[in-house]
Amino acid sequence: MRRPTLLGTFGVMVLLGAGCGIPAASDVRVDGKGGAATEAGVISRGSEPPTRTASGTLQEVFVRNFLSAAAGEPDRAYERVKAFVAPEDKIRLQDKKGSEVALNVVRLREAVYTPNRDLTTTVKITVQQIGVLRANGTLAPPVATETEYEFGLRSASFDGGVDDDRAGLYIIDPPNVLLLSDTALRQYYQDETIYFWSSDRTRLVPDQRYRPQAVPVERRVNEVVKWLVGGPSDWLRPGVVGLPDRTELINNATGGNGRWEVNLDMPSDDQNGIDQLITQIAWSLGDLPGQLELKIRNNAQPVVILGERRNSHALYPHAASPLRFGVYDGAIHPLDFEGEPSGTVPLAPEVNRNVVSASLGFAKDRRILAAMVVTGSKNRYRLAVGTGVEPVSVLSRSSTEYSSISRPVWLRMVDSRPGRGLVVADGQLYRFDETARMYQMPLNLPSGEVTAVAAALDGQRVALIAGGRLYVAAVNLDGGGVSIGPPRELVTSLTNPTAVDWGREDQLVVAGSVGQPALYEISVDGALETPLRTDLGAKVNHLTAYPSNRGVRAPSGAYMYEVNGVAYRSSPFERIEPSRVRGIAPVPAGVRQSNPSAPFFLY
Amino acid sequence: MSVRVAGVLGRAHQTWRRSLQVRVVTITLVASSLLVGGFAFLIADKITTILLDSARSDVRQRVTSGASYAAKQVSFYGQPQEAQLQETIDGTVNYLAGGDPQQTSGVVVAITADDYPNDIQTRTSPSANVQPLISPELRAAIADGKVASQIRTGRLTDETTKYLVYGSPVPTRFGQIELYYLVPLGRQDVTAADARATVVATGVALVILLGLLAALVTRLVVNPVRVAARTAQRLSAGLLDQRMVVNGEDDLALLAASFNQMATNLQRQILRLEEMSRLQRRFTSDVSHELRTPLTTVRMAADLIFAERDEFDPAVARSAELLQAELDRFEELLTDLLEISRFDAGFAMLDSEPTDLVPVVHRVVDRLAGLAERVGVPIELDLPGTPVIAEVDPRRVERVLRNLVGNAVEHGEARPVLITLGIDETAVAITVRDHGVGLKVGEEKLVFNRFWRADPSRARQTGGTGLGLSISLEDARLHGGWLEAWGAPGQGAQFRLTLPARAGDRLTTSPLRLVPADATLPFGGPRDGNPRDGGSRDGGQLAIGPGTGGALAIGPAPAGDGQRTEVHS
């Protein structure tokens, strides 16, 4: 009885023990082919800076290439620059890692090459420090104060004697910083505009970034989202808000073929905030078409078509095509040009008098905001402000008269809050409201006298000229007041700027002097300069521009200015003749016809 | 030790042979163990397979989506040297592992780049050395662009665990990197073990239950059978009033009822036969006794007449002689009948004493010498030179011998009769060989029948009663010995008396052969060289003696009752 039972149980155990259970090791089980290989080959890349030997033994070209070498992805900037440095001197260039990598962007003024006895060449370059290009693509104000750098050149050929074209040259005794010339910045970087929400979260404010062209376009979304996560430029911070704290991009933003996927780790899951974030990303991606799938901690949000999102959430909702106006004989008149729309003066005739300069703008529901400098008594001026639907027939006047008042500017808002503007009077910056009350704005600037102010289309940024220097600053419109953040000085080639306005979202049109009066377009960080006119002959005392933006097709003449009492417009560049002024009585023959002055755009 | 094992095995074997219950239970246990074991194996195997398959498909899904995620992540990079590639791989691994290194589900995600060992470092999350767990074969399969998996046992964190290592190639623009998921199978292992334990426990319980059930059922069936067997044993031992208990109306009850019916019928029949037999014997005995008294008177008268025969005329004198002779025969017949009836009544008593058989033979031969001389048959003796001592009743032995030798002389046909005496350790034997007409086939059995004659038409020459061999057979049987006959037509006959040397011993062999050495066998086959078993192989020479008791004639006689019913002749 016992024996068979034991036998049976034993048999069961053996069967179970041997045949069942998860084995300790198994054979390799192949499930089939893995994912289809992505298209092999090199990614489409933009231009990259030339290598050390590309210049041969041409010293000037070599130095230029050296000043371009740092361009590209910041991680390998030191590596690229060190490739130019003689092996024995590489140790002098101390590596920095990650976000500490910063490129000193300089404007090369002069380079002096002095041959030495030992067949080396000493190079002394004179530079203007423009700013520091950080790893996050922002160009911060310059830290270094050097205006000169000195280093040596030697042949890279082994015998050290004859220069060998193929061996090229080496930098010896290099400066212990990464230098990047402004031309290299222009050549090897793509400037991108990303957007941050204003601090009251009513509108998007542009922020300028530089994307190395070495970064393949496929990574553009990734870079943009990283920038957004990283937060706005320092000078913008008072006026805008970044993404919520501790927001992180989870790995890379991926995609292609018109579909992009962004996965964020974000503490807030406020749906409104997420929706705004999508809008922010959509605009920050420029004109990129396709679909965006945003995931917040892996929770997918509805897929958004980028183009549709941009169409439905305009950056500048109330900015229409600009209409040109000018002041003629103390009254505002429309200026007519072929092929351009022109409007009527939105002021009642009884208040359209004694105007020196004016600023008109549309607010919500096509309400007109009108601010004018009108003549007071004995060469003194007052600020007159009127608001309301067209035509504006009531003006409030400032209680104080000033000996000089610059052209007032409106800080444009998208909602129906009362309009607010800025104006410079007697060297002081004032803000004014719809009742023409003026409040002085304290500015934390070394030299006090403010000569010009210009507000960007978004109303959150202003450009200032104070003490002969050009500044930009963020504006905070929270609550009822207006406050201006710490101004950031722009280092430009221009001296003695006299007038400024915003020519584009990230470009200023600045009138100043480069030995002679000139008109430059300068990027909002001062790094990129484009001469617009250098043959003005005299100082520009009035400058106005319509900021071309992605909301509205730019008109042919994006800016207008006044020199020596004569008004001009751009593209085509021409003088604004009195014949352009609509609604003026014909001047009898022999009488010298007065010129239209203080031209401005209504938008 | 081995003795003990042998003892246990022997006992087990004995139990196996004797107990139907043990056999049924054992067979049930073995069969159900095999069956249940097989099923348990299948079920446990199935459970394990299902667990593994679900883990596999789960991991496969993760690997596939992970690989496509990783492929997207690294698709920006055209060269393995790119600076942010390693960072991206780190991030990807962390992301795929669940992002939070603290939150450990035990799953380890790893990205390796076997093709670019200098540019890309292996990354795992949570950090662990996964290299030992990724076998070269798996690497090769994945390097070949296949999604593949393998189970490996290893130690990544605290303890050695089985891991399901799943790998997939991650295509990139510069080549291929590899994504591995190492998923611990601890939970599945525990579940499988639990399931296995449950299945085994259930199986064992089932087997035991089946065994108990088989034991119970067998017991239900076997018990009445045992009772029936016991009852039958008792019945056959003579306890004719034994009956089975009838319970219910089932098959077993039917068996018991039929058994009881049979027992009742048998009992009735036996009792009737016994009564008839008893009456017959009584009748024989009574008749013999009743005849003796008048016979004595007739005898005395006849003796008187016989003594005075010379005075009568010759015809009357001849009648007186005839009367005297026939009275002698009548008296002999009566004596034999009485002797037979004593045997039949069971009153025959053995009066054993150690006896030398040689003088007994001589005495018999001497007594029959006259008759032999008259018919011209020489009697030859083959006796050992030493005394042949056996514990026998000399009177009966002498009677048997006298009978045998007398028969031999009578049927000797003037040819010699040989008497041989043999002895061994256990038995003594005497053969009487004649060379007369012999016995026909089948007559070896018949010669011992009462009043049997080989040729009924032949006149009786000698005064044989026809009961001599029957009485001799009874005498031999009373000794526990054998009386056997052999004969063949034309070859004469031989009778053999075998007796145990000590009274009460059982006979197994005879010192002398039943078939004489000079006999020719009809088929020329091998002779019965081993006469001790003298049995069924020599069917022609075997005779069964007549039954002496009614009870013994109807059933197998219980062994060891001391009385042989099967008598070799």
CB B97 within 8 A of CB B108: yes
Indicate if B447 and B544 belong to the same structural domain: yes
Contact B537, B522 (CB under 8 A): no
Which residues lie below 8 Å from residue A192, measured CB to CB, with a gap of 6+? A137, A208, A209, A210, A211, A220, A224, A284, A286
For A182-186, A213-217, A243-247, B470-474, which range has the lowest pLDDT when averaged over its residues? A213-217
Give SS3 for A200.
Answer: coil
CATH number of the domain that residue B506 is part of: 3.30.565.10
Contact in structure between B93 and B110 (CB atoms under 8 Å): yes
Q: For A257, left (φ over 0), alpha (ψ -120 to 50), or beta?
A: left
Tokens at residue A333, please? 């008149």
Q: Quickly tell me which residue has 């007409």 as its tokens.
A: B437
Chain B 36-65, residues with CB within 8 Å of chain A CB atoms: 36-38, 40-41, 44-45, 47-48, 51-52, 60, 64
Query: Per-residue pLDDT averaged across A382-407, rounded?
Result: 89
Instruction: Name the token pair of A420.
Output: 């607010």
Does B184 lie in the same domain as B49?
yes
CATH number, domain of B141, equals 3.30.450.20
DSSP per-residue codes, B52-87: HHHHHHHHHHHHHHHHHHHHHHHTT-SSTT-HHHHH
| Structural domain contains residue B210 | no
Number of other residues whose CB lies within 10 A of the CB of residue B424: 12
- A93: helix, strand or coil: coil
pLDDT of B569: 39
Q: Judge whether B567 lies within some domain.
A: no
So what's the pLDDT on residue B223?
A: 82
The pLDDT of A309-332, averaged and rounded, is 84
Q: Which chain B residue is nearest to residue A259, measuring alpha carbons?
A: B72
Mean pLDDT over the full length of chain A: 85
Q: Look at residue B428 in the predicted model and tell me its pLDDT.
A: 92
In angstroms, rounded to a whole number, what is the distance separating the alpha carbons of residues B371 and A558? 179
- Are residues B109 and B180 located together in one domain of the fold? yes
Per the confidence metrics, is the pTM higher than 0.90? Answer: no
The token pair that represents A471 in the structure block: 């500044």
Is residue A548 classed as helix, strand or coil in its secondary structure?
strand
Contact at CB, A35 and B168, closer than 8 angstroms: yes
Minimum-distance CB partner of A76 among B38, B83, B176 = B83
Partner-chain contact B145 A13, CB within 8 Å = no
Q: Provide the mean pLDDT of chain B.
A: 82
Residue B52 within a domain: yes
**Quick one: pLDDT at residue A376?**
84
CATH code at B294? 1.10.287.130
The secondary element (H helix, E strand) that includes residue A357 is strand A355-363
Same domain, B62 and B87: yes
For residues B226 and B214, give the distance between their C-alpha atoms in angstroms, rounded to a whole number.
17
Q: Tell me if A52-187 shares its fold with A324-602.
A: no
- DSSP H or E segment with residue A324: strand A323-328
Q: Is the pLDDT of residue A159 over 80?
A: no
Residue B6 domain flag? no
The whole-number average pLDDT for the span B436-452 is: 85
Share of chain B above pLDDT 70, in %: 88
Neighbouring C-beta atoms of residue A573, cutoff 10 Å: 11
Output the pLDDT for position A40. 45
Q: Is the pLDDT of residue A367 over 60?
A: yes
Q: Which two tokens stand for residue A477?
A: 């419109």
Nearest CA-CA distance, residue A44 and chain B, Å: 9
Shortest alpha-carbon distance between residue A231 and chain B (Å):
20
Q: A38 and B171: CB-CB below 8 Å? A: yes
Give the count of beta carbons closer than 10 Å to the beta carbon of residue B370.
8
Mean per-residue pLDDT, A301-322: 84
B330 close contact with A: CB closer than 8 A: no
Closest CA to B327 of B303, B354, B351: B303
Interface probe with B: pick from A3, A6, A10, A16, most Cβ of B within 10 Å? A16
Instruction: Report the pLDDT value the prediction gives residue A216, as an integer from 0 to 100.
Output: 80
Q: What is the mean pLDDT of residues B64-77?
A: 85
Task: Answer yes or no: are the C-beta atoms of A603 and A363 closer than 8 Å.
Answer: no
pLDDT of residue B539: 35
Whether B162 and B285 map to the same domain: the answer is no
Mutation target for A interface from B21, B35, B41: give the one with most A CBs within 10 A: B41
Q: Is residue B463 very low, low, confident or very high in pLDDT (cuts 50, 70, 90)?
A: low
Closest chain A residue to the Cα of B85, Cα to Cα: A252
Could you give the dihedral angle defined by the CA atoms of residues A575, A579, A582 and A587, in that order, rounded to the nearest 10 degrees?
130
- Is the confidence metric ipTM above 0.90 for this complex? no
B16 in any annotated domain: no
Give the Cα separation of A93 and A364 in Å (integer).
Answer: 56
| B168 contacts chain A (CB < 8 A) | yes
- Class of domain A324-602 (CATH, top level): mainly beta
Q: Which of A15, A28, A254 sits opposite B37 (nearest CB)?
A: A15
Burial-class residue A326 by CB neighbours within 10 Å (0-12, 13-18, 19+).
buried
Cβ–Cβ under 8 Å, residues B227 and A36: no
Whole domain around residue B395: which residue ranges?
353-455+465-554
Contacts of B137 in chain A (CB under 8 A): 27-28
Q: Same structural domain for residues B176 and B301?
A: no
Q: How far apart are the first and last CA of chain B?
A: 51
pLDDT bin (cut points 50, 70, 90) of residue B72 is: confident
- Whether the CB of B372 is below 8 Å from some CB of chain A: the reply is no
Q: What is the pLDDT of residues B366-393, one digit of tens each?
A: 988 888 888 888 999 999 988 989 999 9
Q: What is the CA radius of gyration of chain A?
A: 31
Q: Is A577 left (phi over 0), alpha (psi -120 to 50) or beta?
A: beta
Confidence of residue B545 (pLDDT cuts 50, 70, 90): very low
Mean pLDDT of the region B141-162: 85
DSSP A485: -
pLDDT band at A429 (very low <50, low <70, confident <90, very high): very high
B262 domain residue, yes or no = yes
pLDDT digits (tens, 9 = 90+) for A196-225: 999 888 889 999 999 988 888 778 888 899
Residues A70, A80: contact at Cβ < 8 Å?
Answer: yes
Sole residue written with tokens 């001296």: A495
Give the number of C-alpha atoms closer than 13 A to the C-alpha of residue B346, restricted to the C-beta side.
7
* Among B172, B191, B210, residue at a domain's last position: B191
| Half-sphere exposure at residue A428, Cβ-oriented, CA atoms within 13 angstroms | 11
Q: Which residues of B touch A223 (CB under 8 A)?
A: none
**Contact assessment for residue A205 and residue A231, using Cβ atoms and an 8 Å cutoff:** no
Which has more confidence, B159 or B368? B368
Among B19, B75, B111, B212, the strongest candidate for a mutation testing the A interface, having the largest count of A CBs within 10 A, is: B75
Q: Tell me the pLDDT tens digit for each residue of B187-241.
A: 888 888 888 888 888 888 999 999 999 999 888 888 878 888 888 888 888 788 8
Please state which of the ranges A356-365, B284-293, B399-408 shows the lowest mean pLDDT: B284-293
Token output for B417:
């009769």
Which region, left, alpha or beta, applies to residue A365 given φ > 0 means left and ψ of -120 to 50 means alpha? left
User: Which amino acid does the sequence have at A37?
Assistant: A
Q: Is there a single domain that holds both residue B48 and residue B29? A: yes
- Are residues B255 and B361 located together in one domain of the fold? no
Are B12 and A3 in contact (CB < 8 Å)? yes
Beta-carbon separation of A41 and B40 below 8 A = no
Stretch A119-145: mean pLDDT, rounded? Answer: 90
pLDDT band at A41 (very low <50, low <70, confident <90, very high): very low
Residue B499's nearest CA partner among B357, B312, B310 is: B357
What pLDDT is attached to residue B462? 54
Name which of A386, A454, A379 is nearest A424 in CA terms: A454
CB contact under 8 A, A218 and B60: no
Cα B124 from chain centre: 75
CB atoms within 10 A of CB A302: 9
What is the token pair recorded at B306? Answer: 């016989």
| pLDDT at site B564 | 36
Question: Cβ of B203 under 8 Å from any chain A Cβ?
Answer: yes
CB contact (8 A) between residue A31 and residue B22: no
Fold of A52-187: Nuclear Transport Factor 2; Chain: A, (3.10.450)
- Distance, CA of B170 to CA of B189 (rounded, Å): 30
Region B544-548 average pLDDT: 39
- Tens of pLDDT, residues A115-125: 888 888 899 99
How does pLDDT run across B20-65, given as a tens digit for each residue?
A: 888 888 888 899 889 888 888 888 888 888 988 998 898 888 888 8
Q: Which residue has the higher pLDDT, B525 or A423?
A: A423
For residues A299-321, average pLDDT: 84
Kindly determine whether residue A19 and residue B41, on different chains, have CB atoms separated by under 8 Å: yes
Q: Please give the pLDDT value at position A422.
A: 93
Residues of chain B in contact with residue A99, where contact means CB-CB under 8 angstroms, are none
Q: How many domains does chain B have?
A: 3
User: A-chain residues within 8 Å CB-CB of B150?
Assistant: 25-29
The answer to whether B458 and B541 are in contact (CB under 8 A) is no
SS3 B140: helix
Same domain, B414 and B503: yes
Query: Is B40 among the domain residues?
Result: yes
Q: Where residue A556 falls among pLDDT bands split at 50, 70, 90?
A: low
- With a cut of 70, say whether residue B137 has pLDDT above it: yes
The answer to whether A503 and A548 are in contact (CB under 8 A) is yes
Where are the domains positioned within chain A?
52-187, 189-312, 324-602
Q: What is the pLDDT of residue A164?
A: 60
Report residue B3 as tokens. Answer: 């003795």
- Cβ-Cβ contacts under 8 Å, A22 against chain B: 48, 51-52, 151, 162, 185, 188-189, 192
B561 band by pLDDT with thresholds 50, 70 and 90? very low
pLDDT-derived band at A180, boundaries 50, 70, 90 = very high
Instruction: Provide the pairing of β-strand B353-356 with B176-184.
Output: unpaired
Whether B114 has a pLDDT exceeding 70, the answer reads yes
The tokens describing A448, both together, are: 């006090």
Whether pLDDT at A34 is above 80:
no
- Shortest alpha-carbon distance between residue A276 and chain B (Å): 26
Report the pLDDT value the prediction gives residue B433, as an integer from 0 to 100: 92
- B514 touches A at CB < 8 Å: no
Which chain B residue has its CA at the smallest distance from A223's CA? B76
The confidence score (pLDDT) of residue A158 equals 60
Structure-block tokens of residue B352? 């054993």
The secondary element (H helix, E strand) that includes residue A568 is strand A566-569
Least CB-CB distance to B151: which of A19, A26, A265?
A: A26
Q: Is A44 in contact with A217 (CB distance < 8 Å)?
A: yes
Of the partner residues B12, B149, B200, the one whose CB lies closest to the CB of residue A31:
B149
Tell me the chain A residues in contact with residue B84 when contact means C-beta distances shorter than 8 Å. Answer: 73, 75
Sign (positive/negative) of CA torsion A489, A493, A494, A496?
Answer: positive
Residue A203: what pLDDT? 87
User: Residue B197 is which amino acid?
Assistant: A
The pLDDT score that the predictor gives to residue B447 is: 87
Cβ of A11 and B204 within 8 Å? no
CA distance B127 to chain A (A): 18
pLDDT in tens, A446-474: 777 899 999 998 889 999 999 889 999 99
Residues in chain B with CB shorter than 8 Å from the CB of A251 are 73, 88, 91-92, 95
- Closest-CA distance, A263 to chain B, in angstroms, reads 11
Q: Which residues contact B544 (CB under 8 A, 6 or more apart)?
A: B445, B566, B567, B569
* CB-based contact A250 B95, cutoff 8 Å: yes
